[in-house]
Chain A
Amino acid sequence: MAEKTFIEKIQEIDPKILYAILIISLLIPYVRPLGIPIPIGAETRSYWNYIANMPEGSVVAMQLASDPSTIPQTRSAHQITMLKLFQQNCKIVFFTLRDDAPPLHEEMMQWVEAHLPSSKKLAYGVDYVNLGFLADTEATIAAIVADLKGFVEEDAYGNSLSSQPMMANVNSGEDFDLIVWNDGSRGIYMFALRQWQEKLGTPLLIIASTINKPGIMNYLQSGQVAGAAFGTEGGAQIESISGYIGDSTKATEPGSLSALVLTIVLLISNTIYLVKRFQTPTNVKGGNVK
């Protein structure tokens, strides 16, 4: 068999070499930080402006559908949003449509309580209520919108929902002023869009992984979604706007360098492909011959 040319070897490279290139480009910024500035996107700006302008006493529904794999991307945006809303004396009803999200919510509550000023102490049942995990179906959102206390009689800790002071005037979807929907990578933001925002016109803000960005951009353009923060970049932008610099800002550097390296590798691979394709002679009847 004829020995492979250099170009053929590049085209049929062992995947392990690609993986090694990826890992090395991800690790370099941990050893030598790059100090890359974070530009703020229009959709993140809209998201933050909405949060920052929520009137005191507003009732907000915050849903968390991130899981342990996506929470590094959405944690910053979610917990800074919680903190900002509490600083503005908003009331929040938390719930999750993912069975593995409740512990993540508790971790973020601890972060929020640690970052609130000492003069501001959160009181459960007065400032916030946690409904815990609810079944992951569109019917759940429809049930909440129709009759929240009829659907969920107890909160996540076994307390009667009706006995919580802040729930006295919160009976259905109509009593909420804002929905903040952390979609993770699930793509279930359509539940909130179809059953809540569409029906009642309640403003909807979305925190989601980058995988959902193409779909959600459509609803941002149509005005059905008021603002969004996507992935690690969105989290870093929220950190930058709010001043709480944290893990998302640090995580943008490995992402940036690996994207640059991989883009160069893919460009090289595609250039080689195109050069080979246009160099290969064709016979009279069409098709390529080697």
Chain B
Amino acid sequence: MSIVDILTIIIPVSFTIFILSLAYDDNPLYEIGAYLLIGSSAGWSAIQIIDFLRKSAWTPSFTGKPLYFVSLLLGLALFTRYFKNYRWLYRYPMAVVIGTGVGLAVNGAIGAQITKQISANFLPLTTGSAMSMFSNVLIIVGSMSSLTYFLFTDRFNNKYSQSVSKIGRYFLMATFGASFGSVMTFRIETLIGRIDFLVLPENLNYSIAVTVLVLAYLIGRNYLPKKQ
């Protein structure tokens, strides 16, 4: 194996175990990994964004769309937030981003999040199996009552509304429980991804060696004399 091949294995294995060492204790090895992550992430993102801006703004500006120079100028205007006297210029590109975002969100929300969702609630209550009818009733009752939970005006502050709102709260708790279960599954799957990497046949020996060294360092540093 060449030196590059060895580095190709030992660097990622070491960084993986440095980061995982936080589970034992906060330590300088984890700090090294964390700072390297921020630096590498920033550097990587910068190169990708340069490439995106080149193909969607710079190139069109020179190939028949001179108007796109305006987009470049607006983008550069974002940096004026670092200059006190010209900070107000930053608001114009932000206005374009906010206005576009609001326009798109409003367009999309009306259909995808309101009308389609309400029409999806029109479920059959008299056809299908008993289980499907029961499920449909639960969906209709649950979605309406959980929506009621978010109504805070005085008109809804009566005993009947509060009962409906309470039912909605129970459905919301079931939703949050399902979310938490999904989050736990997701996080463990992420950890499995790293363990899969560490136990690959080509990485296993290095993984064991680095783990032993890091554990020895973590346990040993507790016994080192502290600086006065």
Do chains A and B directly touch (beta carbons under 8 Å) in the complex? Answer: yes
Q: Does B179 lie within 8 Å of A73, measured CB to CB?
A: no
Sample of 15 more A-B contacts, CB < 8 Å, known A154-B59, A251-B192: A73-B190, A99-B49, A133-B51, A138-B101, A139-B97, A142-B104, A153-B59, A193-B112, A194-B104, A198-B112, A198-B116, A211-B183, A231-B189, A251-B196, A254-B192
Q: Is the interface of A mostly helix, strand, loop or mixed?
A: helix
Which residue of the partner chain, among B51, B183, B185, B191, contacts A26 with CB atoms under 8 Å? B191
Complex: A224 Cα to B194 Cα, angstroms? 34
State the 6 A-B residue pairs at the shortest beta-carbon distance, nearest first: A194-B108, A72-B193, A222-B120, A99-B48, A211-B186, A154-B55
Does chain B have a CB within 8 A of A221?
Answer: yes
Select from chain B the residue with minimum beta-carbon distance to A142. Answer: B104
Q: A153-B63, A193-B112, A213-B182 are in contact. Are A99 and B188 (CB under 8 A)?
A: no
Q: Which residues on B sit within 8 Å (CB–CB) of A44?
A: none
Q: Is the interface of B mostly helix, strand, loop or mixed?
A: helix
Instruction: Give the Cβ gap from B14 to chain A, nearest Cβ, in Å.
Output: 16
* 1/0 contact string of B95-123 vs chain A (CB within 8 Å): 00100110011011101110011011000
Q: Does A153 lie within 8 Å of B192, measured CB to CB?
A: no
Q: Which residues on B sit within 8 Å (CB–CB) of A70?
A: 190
Does chain B have a CB within 8 A of A171?
Answer: no
Q: Does A153 lie within 8 Å of B60, measured CB to CB?
A: yes
Instruction: Give the Cβ gap from B11 to chain A, nearest Cβ, in Å.
Output: 14
Does chain B have a CB within 8 A of A63?
Answer: no
Q: A210-B185, A214-B182 are in contact. Are A197 and B192 (CB under 8 A)?
A: no
Sample 14 A-B pairs with CB under 8 A, ordered by A number: A22-B188, A30-B199, A69-B190, A100-B48, A132-B51, A138-B101, A153-B56, A194-B108, A199-B108, A210-B182, A210-B189, A221-B139, A251-B189, A262-B188
Which residue of the partner chain, among A99, A151, A211, A224, contacts B44 with CB atoms under 8 Å? A99
Does chain B have a CB within 8 A of A16?
Answer: yes
Q: Which residues on B sit within 8 Å (CB–CB) of A213?
A: 182
Does chain A have a CB within 8 A of B132?
Answer: no
Q: Does A255 lie within 8 Å of B189, measured CB to CB?
A: yes
Complex: A214 Cα to B174 Cα, angstroms? 11
Q: A232-B189, A258-B188 are in contact. Are A214 and B108 (CB under 8 A)?
A: no
Complex: A274 Cα to B193 Cα, angstroms? 35
Which residue of the partner chain, among A27, A151, A211, contacts B56 with CB atoms under 8 Å? A151
Q: A16-B24, A69-B190, A72-B192 are in contact. Are A221 and B48 (CB under 8 A)?
A: no
Q: Does B56 lie within 8 Å of A134, measured CB to CB?
A: yes
Q: Chain A contact residues (Cβ within 8 angstroms of B): what range?
A: 35 or more
Complex: A199 Cα to B112 Cα, angstroms? 9
Q: Which residues on A sit within 8 Å (CB–CB) of B183?
A: 211
Query: A residues 185-212 with Cβ under 8 Å of B?
Result: 185, 190, 193-195, 197-199, 209-212
Q: Give the residue among B59, B108, B196 with the most A Cβ atoms within 10 A.
A: B108
Select from chain B the residue with minimum beta-carbon distance to A247. Answer: B196
- Total A-B residue contacts, Cβ distance less than 8 Å: 140
Does chain A have a CB within 8 A of B162?
Answer: no
Q: Does B55 lie within 8 Å of A153, measured CB to CB?
A: yes
Q: Which residues on A sit within 8 Å (CB–CB) of B54?
A: 154
Complex: A248 Cα to B218 Cα, angstroms? 33
Query: A residues 202-261 with Cβ under 8 Å of B?
Result: 209-214, 218, 221-224, 231-232, 247, 250-251, 254-255, 258-259
Q: Which residues on A sit within 8 Å (CB–CB) of B49?
A: 99, 135
Q: Does B116 lie within 8 Å of A222, measured CB to CB?
A: yes
* 1/0 contact string of A35-79 vs chain B (CB within 8 Å): 000000000000000000000000000000000011111000000
Q: Does A138 lie within 8 Å of B105, measured CB to CB?
A: yes
Q: A185-B186, A211-B183, A214-B175 are in contact. Are A100 and B44 (CB under 8 A)?
A: yes
Query: A residues 247-290 with Cβ under 8 Å of B?
Result: 247, 250-251, 254-255, 258-259, 262
Does chain B have a CB within 8 A of A125?
Answer: no
Q: Which residues on B sit within 8 Å (CB–CB) of A212?
A: 182
Q: Which residues on B sit within 8 Å (CB–CB) of A247?
A: 196
Q: Which residues on A sit within 8 Å (CB–CB) of B185?
A: 210, 231, 255, 259
* 1/0 contact string of B176-219 vs chain A (CB within 8 Å): 00110011111011111101100100000000000000000000
Instruction: Give the Cβ gap from A201 to chain B, nearest Cβ, in Å.
Output: 11
Q: A30-B199, A99-B44 are in contact. Are A210 and B186 (CB under 8 A)?
A: yes
Complex: A156 Cα to B49 Cα, angstroms? 12
Q: Which residues on A sit within 8 Å (CB–CB) of B79?
A: none
Instruction: Give the Cβ gap from B101 to chain A, nearest Cβ, in Å.
Output: 7
Q: Does B192 lie within 8 Å of A26, measured CB to CB?
A: yes
Does chain A have a CB within 8 A of B73?
Answer: no
Select from chain B the residue with minimum beta-carbon distance to A25. Answer: B188
Q: Does B182 lie within 8 Å of A139, measured CB to CB?
A: no
